[in-house]
Amino acid sequence: MVLGSLWIIMTAAQHPDMVVVSRSLKTMLLVELTVPWEENMEWAHERKLLRYEQLAQDCKGKGWRCDEFAVKMGCRGFVGKSTVNVLKRLGSGGRRLRSIMKELACTAERCSAGIWNSCMSDGHTG
């Protein structure tokens, strides 16, 4: 599969964070990222999937196979199963998959710490 654009197939009001398209397989992956507090992961997952449900149905109606992924990364570094699923669907596995997951967890944690530190240095309390 190669990166592509949703505009090849149709125009849409909402845009997923990433669209992976294979013209030869007439297949696309709609990938939406969410980085919630871990306790809100299931709610965030459902909300993100619902956001693009109509878009996926429209693509399917035009004869495309369309898989939706709401990729979850917890703000404290938890890698959600949906993240693993999309990485596997994109061809990662074994050691490479574990390496990517570790890097994603570290990045999420580092970014959350940076946001927190920035808020605290600006005098924000909530």
29 occurs within a structural domain: yes
CB 45 within 8 A of CB 72: yes
Q: Higher-confidence residue: 1 or 110?
A: 110
Provide the domain limits for residue 53: 2-121
Provide the pLDDT confidence category of residue 82 given band limits of 50, 70 and 90: confident
Q: Higher-confidence residue: 125 or 2?
A: 125
Our count of domains for the chain comes to 1
Q: What pLDDT is attached to residue 99?
A: 93
Q: What pLDDT is attached to residue 51?
A: 83
pLDDT at 3 exceeding the cut of 70: no
- Token pair 């967890």 is found at 105
pLDDT at 78 exceeding the cut of 70: yes
37 occurs within a structural domain: yes
106 occurs within a structural domain: yes
Q: What pLDDT is attached to residue 80?
A: 79
CA distances from 11 to 58, 110, 112 (A): 10, 36, 34
Q: What pLDDT is attached to residue 1?
A: 42
64 occurs within a structural domain: yes
99 occurs within a structural domain: yes
CA-CA-CA-CA torsion for 12, 17, 20, 26, nearest 10 degrees?
A: -30
Q: What pLDDT is attached to residue 96?
A: 93
CB 125 within 8 A of CB 108: no
80 occurs within a structural domain: yes
Beta partners for 22? 27
Q: pTM here? A: 0.66
Q: Mapping DSSP to helix (H, G, I), strand (E, B) and coil, where does residue 58 land?
A: helix
Q: What is the mean pLDDT of residues 74-98?
A: 85
72 occurs within a structural domain: yes
17 occurs within a structural domain: yes
